[in-house]
Structure 1
Amino acid sequence: MQEASRRSNQDRTSRTQAALIAAARKLFIEKGYTETGTPELVAEAGVTRGALYHHFADKQALFRAVIEAENAAVAAEIEEATPAKLKPIEALASGGEAFLAAMSLPGRTRLMLIEAPAVLGREAMDAIDAAHGGRTLREGIAAAIEADMLQAVPVEAAALLLSAAYERAALSIAAGADLAQWRALIRIVLDGLRRSNR
């Protein structure tokens, strides 16, 4: 009986948190962080203000949960696009293209690349990225170096450089730039890092 009650409470907690995160994502995309008030958030989620503060310390904590969920979703799409059967160098390229595809979800680029650094700060964003998309990129670079398909570049520095290129591409594409052109350009950059004849 006690176990069933605990499970029921956990389910209720999960549902409430999911409702708040979904509502917050929608409103933060539509209006931005600053223009979104907590009364709107709880109304959109269909919960009380007390429920919001029970699960999240404040609006910024809820925003961080949204950003972590978005980063996890992008990382999952990258991992799905890079099955183990791919050669490491191809997995690296496919992962980058999967990032650009994942960022094409309406509002995601604004949320993750414009709003999030402004609200959470660069240090927090680097930590979130390191656990998700940044992790997949570091792993991809390391695997390609280990397979002798990529020059022996410093993994962390290469990840930061490529991450900046992918983020800049995502921002440009969201503003109307040509996706195919950016994909081709990033392929050229990756080709420049390849080992000769690999």
Structure 2
Amino acid sequence: MQEKSKIRSNKDRTEATCAALLTAARSLFAERGYAETSTPEIVRAAGVTRGALYHHFEDKTAVFRAVITEEYRAVAEEITRAAGSAPGSALDALRKGSRGFLAAMSDKGRVRIMLRDGPAVLGRAELDEIDQRTSADTLRLGLAEAMDAGEIRKLPLKALTKQMSALFDRSALAVSEGDDPVEHLEVLDAILLSLRSARHLQADRS
């Protein structure tokens, strides 16, 4: 019994140390950026030893990878919550999800981590892999569902996902720099609605 309690206690301490490191790193990356943040600063902010950091993470890039993974997960949760907030079509879910995305990306620190430093530090291919692993690739799945339901035209899914993702990311960057989110949502809605299939357009008119 004592041995199980000791193992549990050690596990709790390990998890608490890792959480402290990620919280400290996230704050520093969000405020100062990846390049201007050092591992000694992360260690000091977390209140742990340098050895503790290297016990959990190989280097600063590994810390950043863990932080950005959590950011992708948080954004995906907000998109899923918004998309499922009320019943409707697959296209409606995409439009609601776009609102969830911009709401999640209203955090300027998150924009810096995901859209500015992320591509430079990890590269687009790794970010796409993190996106698929943490969010179940919400945009691609939403577009696929809308196509399967006959609500939008059949288009090459991979290319459409990449182009729509770029539009969403560019909107988030623009809003973080002072643009009106309502205007960007209006444009995103118009683009999504322009994808409607002929059958869906006929249903709207009838």
Aligned to 1:175: 177
* Count of residue pairs brought into register by the alignment: 198
CA RMSD in angstroms comes to 1.5
1:3 CA drift (Å):
2.7
| 1:145 corresponds to 2:143 | no
**Unaligned residue ranges in structure 2 (runs of 5+):** none
| 1:98 corresponds to 2:100 | yes
Which TM-score applies when normalising by structure 2? 0.91
1:82 CA drift (Å):
1.6
Letter in structure 2 aligned against 1:142: A
| 1:39 corresponds to 2:60 | no
Partner of 1:153, secondary structure, is coil
Matches within 5 A, 1:118-129: 118-129=120-131
Q: Which has the larger radius of gyration?
A: 2
**130-139 or 25-34, larger mean C-alpha shift:** 130-139
Aligned residues of 1:134 and 1:163 also touching (Cα < 8 A): no
**31-40 or 70-79, larger mean C-alpha shift:** 31-40
Aligned counterparts of 2:31 and 2:194: Cα–Cα separation in 1: 40
Which TM-score applies when normalising by structure 1? 0.94
1:55 CA drift (Å):
0.5
Aligned to 2:20: 19
1:12 CA drift (Å):
1.6
Q: Deviations over 1:78-129 (max 9, x none)?
A: 1111227332110011111211110001311111100111111222112112
Aligned to 2:50: 49
Partner of 2:158, secondary structure, is helix
Deviation >3 Å, runs of 4+: none
Aligned to 1:69: 70
Partner of 2:107, secondary structure, is coil
**Unaligned residue ranges in structure 1 (runs of 5+):** none
Letter in structure 2 aligned against 1:162: M
With over 3 angstroms needed to count, the CA separation of the structure-2 counterparts of 1:96 and 1:171, relative to structure 1, is same
1:45 CA drift (Å):
0.5
Counting aligned pairs with the same residue, the percent is 48
Aligned counterparts of 2:9 and 2:88: Cα–Cα separation in 1: 43
Partner of 2:194, secondary structure, is helix
